[in-house]
Amino acid sequence: MKVVVCVKQVPDTKGGVKFKPDGTLDRSAMLAIMNPDDKAGLEAALRLKDEYGAEVSVVTMGLPKADAVLREAFAMGADKGYLVTDRVLGGADTWATSTTLAGALRNLDYDLIITGRQAIDGDTAQVGPQISEHLHIPVISYAEDIKVNPEEGTVEVKRQFEDRYHIVKAKMPCLITCLSELNEPRYMTPGGIFDAFQKDVTVWGRKDLKDVKDEDIGKVGSPTQIAKASDKVAKGKGEQVIPDSPEEAVDYIMGKLDEKHVI
Amino acid sequence: MDFQLDKEHEMARSLFKEFAEKEVKPHAIEVDETEVFPRETVNKMAKYGFLGIPIPKEYGGQGCDVLTYVMCVEELAKVCGTTAVIVSAHTSLCMDPILTFGTEEQKKKYLPDLASGKKLGAFGLTEPGAGTDAQGVQTKAVLSEDGKEWILNGSKCFITNGKEADVYIIIAYTDVVLDKKGRKQKKFSAFIVDKGLPGFTFGTKENKMGIRGSSTYELIFQDVHVPAENLLGQRGKGFPIAMHTLDGGRIGIAAQALGLAEGALGRTVDYVKERKQFGRAIAQFQNTQFQLANLKTETDAAKLLVYKAARAKEAAAANGYKTRFSEDAAEAKLFAAETAMDVTTKCVQLFGGYGYIREYEVERMMRDAKITEIYEGTSEVQRMVISGAMLK
């Protein structure tokens, strides 16, 4: 079984978020870590390695310094590491990122692709599902439990929702996005760290991406425009309204959606 | 001369730091209060290889260098002095002599279980009448007539990991010879002693000022039959083995002291920014600022000596100990221990009344720091070692 995990190096938001004057994240002022949801994904993959001898490859897209997350993945037990880095890939939004990662993943064999649900620096939760669309494979998002049946070539995933869960079974190959609640990722080992720096990381640039158009990558390929960036605001308690009629309810909801620029 | 850690060591430090914060720190107050050996934490450290850091992979260790081990002890000590000394005694005082002086059979028999943390190690030299003065050792080993066993009698005191360990390096005298002036001189030998041998029992548990969760016990040997193959190194060469072992152990204790100083200082920096007196944070008073500057400078100086000693031991091990690291180890331990005591005491002072309250933890660090000036060679012994080499 071959499992590929997509991970992202993100600024550690625990110590507070720092912004540049233009409103974008000041990544240099913050400690870089492996995105927590992705780390849970890696742990899930490593458990498949422990149980079924799966080969675990890790792919990351970012600046050359993102090499550090691949070393960390090696030190936890990953087998292969791929760093996708190129100047022309810079400034990518979720669309351009997923296009790029899909282009990289087309070079690899996989039964399962695991990504984190979302990265703590963008909180979009879009890249994983988008990759599955590019690769034409099923996606199961928000996994909080993963069971693999290698003989059947299937996975059974418990998907978390706010007030319920779904159990979804799918044929492999497929893509799973997982939550940090999925598991408690293992620590690295000291010896594993030193071995990790002896291993080779495969570095891919633009030319190594398969079936990817120039207009779909980097800043040029990013339709997203950032209006404003802010620190995450804790979700409030919500608002309860008891309208007198269905019409009033619809008006209220439409008003709110309009207010939030959803429509 | 390079003062920058490479990426590997930086990553190893981040690992130890994360582990210490998440797995060790939450239990530190309880470990101190209850004096309960943190077995669960030790098991977790075993799982991640922390109990075999400088042991070659062929013997089941992590194959890392001394500096990595030192950083592990340092990071643990920042949050819990007890946990740090458990690792230090196990690694430096039990595994290191087996690795350095053991036969291939002894290494293969003992190191994999110790390095994986399946077993825990300890070391016994000190006796009620023999601490700094090793000639006072009364524990005696006599070879049986058939030459197959050593019969061990005597006792050891203040043994770290005492009752929790499984494998003990025990120093006993095996011969008495006359020196040039016709005075009796004991010749010592080192033994690897397994827990559970008939006649090997434990005496009282010490009720200590600091490192209260570490298992400090008296070991009692009454006609304990130790297999002849468990003699470590040569008969009569136990004293140099003990001294070598303590040299290495001093680097571990120096790292513990360093971590205690850093841990107390880190908490104090946070505290003085929060604590308000006369309408402003006490960090704004020049007394606080100057004190912090002094404490940081001392601590950083200690760090350089500790890391230098780790490098010196590493270099010495690589050339079969043709070069010495005793003075480096003694300087590191002397300075780091005295720094730890000074820094933690002044941190308690900067905390004021709250510093005296257990919940704030700096008082525990101060209590933990005191032992670093005493065990594995008192500060006075370190001064003897350093000046002895200077005046040779």
Which chain A residues have a beta carbon less than 8 Å from that of B11? 68, 71-72, 75, 188, 193, 196
**A218 confidence band (pLDDT: 50, 70, 90):** confident
Nearest-by-Cβ selection for A190 from B7, B18, B64: B64
**A232 confidence band (pLDDT: 50, 70, 90):** low
Which chain A residues have a beta carbon less than 8 Å from that of B48? 186-190
φ, ψ (nearest 5 deg) of residue B183: -90, 150
Q: Are A193 and B53 a contacting pair at CB < 8 A?
A: no
Q: What is the mean pLDDT of residues B341-359?
A: 97
Do the Cβ atoms of B87 and B158 come closer than 8 Å? no
Which chain B residues have a beta carbon less than 8 Å from that of A192? 49
Q: Are A190 and B15 a contacting pair at CB < 8 A?
A: yes
Asked whether residue B387 carries a pLDDT value surpassing 80, the answer given is yes
Please state the pTM of the whole predicted model.
0.90
pLDDT at B215: 95
- Per residue in B120-161, pLDDT (tens digit) is 999 999 998 887 787 889 999 999 999 999 999 999 999 999
Q: What is the mean pLDDT of residues A188-196?
A: 97
- Per residue in B181-197, pLDDT (tens digit) is 999 999 999 999 999 99
Q: Are B11 and A68 a contacting pair at CB < 8 A?
A: yes
pLDDT at A221: 80
pLDDT at B172: 97
Q: Are B50 and A190 a contacting pair at CB < 8 A?
A: yes
Chain A: residue whose CA lies nearest to B17: A187
A53: left (phi over 0), alpha (psi -120 to 50) or beta: left
pLDDT at A163: 83
Asked whether residue A44 carries a pLDDT value surpassing 80, the answer given is yes
Do the Cβ atoms of B220 and B200 come closer than 8 Å? yes
pLDDT at A112: 96
**A61 confidence band (pLDDT: 50, 70, 90):** very high
Q: Does B68 contact A at CB distance below 8 Å?
A: yes
Nearest-by-Cβ selection for B48 from A68, A187, A196: A187
How far apart (Å, rounded) are the C-alpha atoms in residues A67 and A85? 10
Q: Are B64 and A191 a contacting pair at CB < 8 A?
A: yes
Asked whether residue A208 carries a pLDDT value surpassing 90, the answer given is yes
pLDDT at A226: 72
Residue with tokens 């990426």: B7
Distances A250 to A166, A245, A259, B141 between C-alpha atoms, Å: 29, 9, 14, 92
Chain A: residue whose CA lies nearest to B66: A190
Which among B164, B218, B363, B376 is annotated as catalytic?
B376
Percent of chain A with pLDDT strictly greater than 70 = 94
Q: What is the mean pLDDT of residues A248-259?
A: 90
3-state SS class at B200: strand
- Per residue in A120-154, pLDDT (tens digit) is 776 778 888 999 999 999 999 998 889 999 899 99
**A90 confidence band (pLDDT: 50, 70, 90):** confident
Asked whether residue A15 carries a pLDDT value surpassing 70, the answer given is no
pLDDT at B255: 98
Nearest-by-Cβ selection for B15 from A68, A187, A197: A187
Beta strand pairing status for A139-149 and A174-178? parallel
- Per residue in B333-342, pLDDT (tens digit) is 999 999 999 9
Beta strand pairing status for A9-11 and A32-34? antiparallel
| Choice between B116 and A219, residue whose per-residue pLDDT is larger | B116
Which chain A residues have a beta carbon less than 8 Å from that of B73? none
Q: Are A187 and B57 a contacting pair at CB < 8 A?
A: no
* Residues in chain A, total: 263
**B318 confidence band (pLDDT: 50, 70, 90):** very high
Which two structure tokens, joined as six digits, stand for A89?
């890939």
Q: Are A189 and B48 a contacting pair at CB < 8 A?
A: yes
Percent of chain B with pLDDT strictly greater than 90 = 96
Q: Does B48 contact A at CB distance below 8 Å?
A: yes
Q: What is the mean pLDDT of residues B78-101?
A: 98
Question: Residue B322: is it exposed, middle or buried by C-beta count within 10 angstroms (0-12/13-18/19+)?
Answer: exposed
- Per residue in B51-71, pLDDT (tens digit) is 999 999 999 999 999 999 999
Distances B297 to B279, B292, B343, B359 between C-alpha atoms, Å: 29, 8, 10, 27
Known catalytic residue at B262: no
Q: Are B57 and A188 a contacting pair at CB < 8 A?
A: no
Interface with A, mutate which of B47, B51, B55, B62 (most A CBs under 10 A): B62
φ, ψ (nearest 5 deg) of residue A32: -95, 130
**What was the ipTM of the complex prediction?**
0.92
Nearest-by-Cβ selection for A191 from B7, B19, B62: B62
